[in-house]
Chain A
Amino acid sequence: MSYLLRTLTKKEDVDSIIRDTIDKLLVLRFGRSSDSVCLQLDDILSKSEQDVSKFASIALVDVDSEENQVYLKYFDITLIPSTVFFFNAHHMKMDSGSADHTKWVGAFHRKQDFIDVVEEIFRGAMKGKLIVKCPLPPERIPKFQLLFKDV
């Protein structure tokens, strides 16, 4: 599915896309195109790209390229896939009941779930909030374990 969405390998591309998406929510997926969960997530992303095109844009960031390691370090991405949301170059956080609010880890169960999340974040962003609450019920949120290093 990665051929349907924009895949970014270079750091400048990522920078430019974060800077240049104005008044639209930017969805960046960090992952590999060979991973099965990534593929699931990519499938949903590509199907809903047209539907949310008026208020969101989607891009994929390849985790394996060297230039993008900076971002992996910055966003602390360890589990694949992870999705980070930006609005006007602000990083949007979402409280989905898990330990990490800065990103969304894992795939979505349904296309509608993804659209709901995107809409919620967009609404919050339009109101000026930097963190929003997740509209999904807990059973639809993929669970993961956060391992703290050296703790």
Chain B
Amino acid sequence: MSFNGRLTIDEDKGSIDEDEVTTGLKVGIPLFSFNRSLVTRSAPVWLYFLVFSRYHFFVSQSQFLLAAQLGVEDSAVFRSTSAARWLGQFMLTANPIGFLNFVALCLDAGPLAHFLPVATRNWPTPAISICSQGRFTTASLEDSFLADLEDLSDNDNENLDEDTGDAEHMEDDVNGDLADIEALNYDDLDSVSKLQKTQRYTEIMQKVEEALEKGSNISNQGMVLEDDPEYQLIVDCNTLSVDIENEIVIIHNFIRDKYRLKFPELESLVHHPIDYARVVKKIGNEVDLTLVDLEGLLPSAVIMVVSVTASTTSGKPLPQDILQKTIEACDRALTLDASKKKVLDFVESRMGYIAPNLSAIVGSAVAAKLMGTAGGLTSLAKMPACNVQLLGTKKKNLAGFSTATSQFRVGYIEQTEIFQTTPPALKMRACRLVAAKSTLAARVDSIRGDPSGKQGRAYREEIHKKIEKWQEPPPAKQPKPLPVPDSEPKKKRGGRRLRKMKERYAITDMRKLANRMQFGVPEESSLGDGLGEGYGMLGQAGNGKLRVSVGQSKLAAKVAKKFKDKQYSSGGATSGLTSSLAFTPVQGIDLIDPQADANRLGSGTQSTYFSETGTFSKIKRT
């Protein structure tokens, strides 16, 4: 159903003309029932158009649509369209009282009474009861509609969550089916956390342990070639460490959900997943926290806060089986953490021989992580530096939290020693610099250009020097001696603004006229008889005008000209036969030169003494 957005909402309508309603419906509904067998989505449209013109003044579009829904059998279809959503919103803004009044009347009216079961079948029960009573208040109505609306929207949100959850979860997880939302409250750890059982994991862990035991024997050979199986192992280790991290997050969520019954505040006090797991394991089912020793697991301030909160917590001790599961999950998290450490240690130890230059700049741990995320040294080398800067950014913008305080986009580079030791004001620049140099180093490493790592150390030195330089204070200000007076010529400004300013003080035409005199003609004066200020040529008979008015300035003349051009040129919508001349009935064509006034006296330097534009030397009075 597509309607244009036009909507008429009446604010004050409570009373409806009953006759009109019933007549309209008497017409409309039978027609509609005729069409019932062919109910398509367009049927309400048809009905709407039939009766809308009659009712637009008291019932809104959305209300009427809903009334039209009365006959639609398949409400699920109706609901699932976007129109339902739109409708639901408008139901609250439109006049619900008016609408339900209208419906109540319909229900009471004779010919429609048999529609009641069909009509109200799909409505929420409060609405039905209210309608049948014929009396309603706004609050409960809106509540019922709101409840209806939330049902719709909740389903959608959960669908979305499921889709993103798939990326996190391993192989065979729930598929966004509505019924499986409940499965998210899993009871069994294994249904969620599967990594430890995979083949891949066990293989790689085995190899890593072997290699770690072998020690640094292999490393003495120098650079590790790419075909070397150990190189492949390192690449696998990188991806595995990322997977382990994700897995730990999942397990943390699991533990948290289970332990919430016992100690809900703990999750907000201890954020780190591994610390949380350790604390949970230590506390277990204990109610009195003074018996539990958390030394070494947490900083002492946090221990204090935890023990205080525990004394006032609202949680209850867990049943034994849930406790068992929780402890199991904690153990698993800790083992995963330990294996991740092993993997990282292994990669770090080999990193100096795979990419010496890169690890000289950012350190082996970060280099290992970068390589892992990039998917190999060559792919890291191919990335532009801006991408390297963003490798490993955590996009944890929870909806509803402000992003104003979120740190700028830094990834693993944030963990390098260089970044940590720069002052916060320079962190952004430092990050960019480190990313650029490390990209160069990675490129050098990918072609085995410098096996000794000298280039990497040189870059590191460079970075340090640059950061030092940024932190230098600016050179001190020397007191300057005063400049020689009048040695610099004054800067004359020009332009339109200055000209307009000068115009205010320029000599007007009136003053120019007053300053001159005609030959042989005595001038008039203010006090008469030669006394007072003389008027010169002002007001004398020989002028081009009878009266001297304020002459148009040059700029004003230009503006007026532009304006008149615009006026005369039409918008382009007129036909070619139209003319902009005005024919007056008496005179015929009268062409006026708009510049005549401005040009009459000219620039003032032009003398009107010898003017050719006919100045009368004598005016004969008759």
Across the interface, which residues of A come within 8 angstroms of B481, CB to CB?
50-54
Let me know if A54 and B483 touch, CB within 8 A: yes
A51 touches B485 (CB 8 A): no
**Alpha-carbon distance between A122 and B485 when the two chains are bound, in angstroms:** 8
Contact with A along B68-85 (1 / 0, CB 8 A): 000000000000000000
Complex Cα spacing A54 to B483, Å? 7
A122 to B479, CA, bound (A): 22
Q: Mark B480-519, 1 if CB is under 8 A from A, else 0.
A: 0111111000000000000000000000000000000000
Chain A interface mostly helix, strand, loop or mixed?
loop
Query: Nearest residue in B to A55 (C-beta to C-beta)?
Result: B484
Whole-angstrom CA separation of A51 from B480 in the bound complex: 7
Closest to B485 in A: A119
- Is A126 interfacial (CB-CB < 8 Å)? yes
Number of A residues whose C-beta is below 8 Å from B?
Answer: 11
Is A77 in the interface zone, CB < 8 Å from B? Answer: no
Of B482, B483, B486, the residue contacting A126 (CB under 8 A) is B486
Q: Does A123 contact B (CB under 8 A)?
A: yes
Q: Which residues of B contact A52 (CB under 8 A)?
A: 481-482
- Decide if A17 is an interface residue (CB 8 Å cutoff): no
> Is the Cβ of A115 less than 8 Å from the Cβ of B486?
no
Whether B486 and A54, one on each chain, are in contact in the complex, defined by CB atoms closer than 8 angstroms, is no
Mark interface residues in A104-126 (1 if CB within 8 Å of B CB, else 0): 00000000000100010011001
CB interface residues, B 196-236, toward A, < 8 Å: none
Residue of chain A at shortest CB distance from B483: A54
- Complex Cα distance, B484 from A51, in Å, reads 10
Instruction: Collect the chain A residues with CB atoms within 8 Å of residue B486's CB.
Output: 123, 126
How distant is B324 from chain A, measured CB to nearest CB, in Å?
A: 86
Which residues of the other chain, A, contact B483 by a CB distance below 8 angstroms? 54
Residues of A within 8 A of B479 (CB): 50-51
- B contact residues around A115 at 8 Å (CB): 482
Q: Measured between alpha carbons, how far is A122 from B486 in the docked complex, in Å?
A: 10
Measured between alpha carbons, how far is A128 from B484 in the docked complex, in Å? 16
Cα distance A50–B485 when bound, in Å? 15
Find chain B residues with CB under 8 A from A54 CB.
481-484
- Which residues on the B side are within 8 Å of A126 (C-beta)? 485-486
Alpha-carbon distance between A50 and B486 when the two chains are bound, in angstroms:
19
| Chain A: minimal CB distance from B386 (Å) | 51
Chain B's nearest CB lies how many Å from the CB of A4?
15
Residues on A with C-beta less than 8 A from B482 are 51-52, 54-55, 115
Q: What's the nearest-Cβ distance from chain A to residue B486, in Å?
A: 6
Bound together, the chains give a CA A74 to CA B483 distance in angstroms of 33
Q: How far is the CB of A134 from chain B (nearest CB, A)?
A: 15
| CB interface residues, A 51-98, toward B, < 8 Å | 51-55
Known contacts A53-B481, A54-B484, A126-B486; can you find 14 more A-B pairs with CB under 8 A? Answer: A50-B479, A50-B481, A51-B479, A51-B481, A51-B482, A52-B482, A54-B481, A54-B482, A55-B482, A55-B484, A55-B485, A115-B482, A122-B485, A123-B485
A-B contact pairs, 23 of them (CB 8 A): A50-B479, A50-B481, A51-B479, A51-B481, A51-B482, A52-B481, A52-B482, A53-B481, A54-B481, A54-B482, A54-B483, A54-B484, A55-B482, A55-B484, A55-B485, A115-B482, A119-B485, A122-B484, A122-B485, A123-B485, A123-B486, A126-B485, A126-B486
Q: Which residues of A contact B (CB under 8 A)?
A: 50-55, 115, 119, 122-123, 126
The 6 closest A-B pairs by CB, nearest first: A55-B484, A53-B481, A119-B485, A51-B482, A54-B481, A54-B484
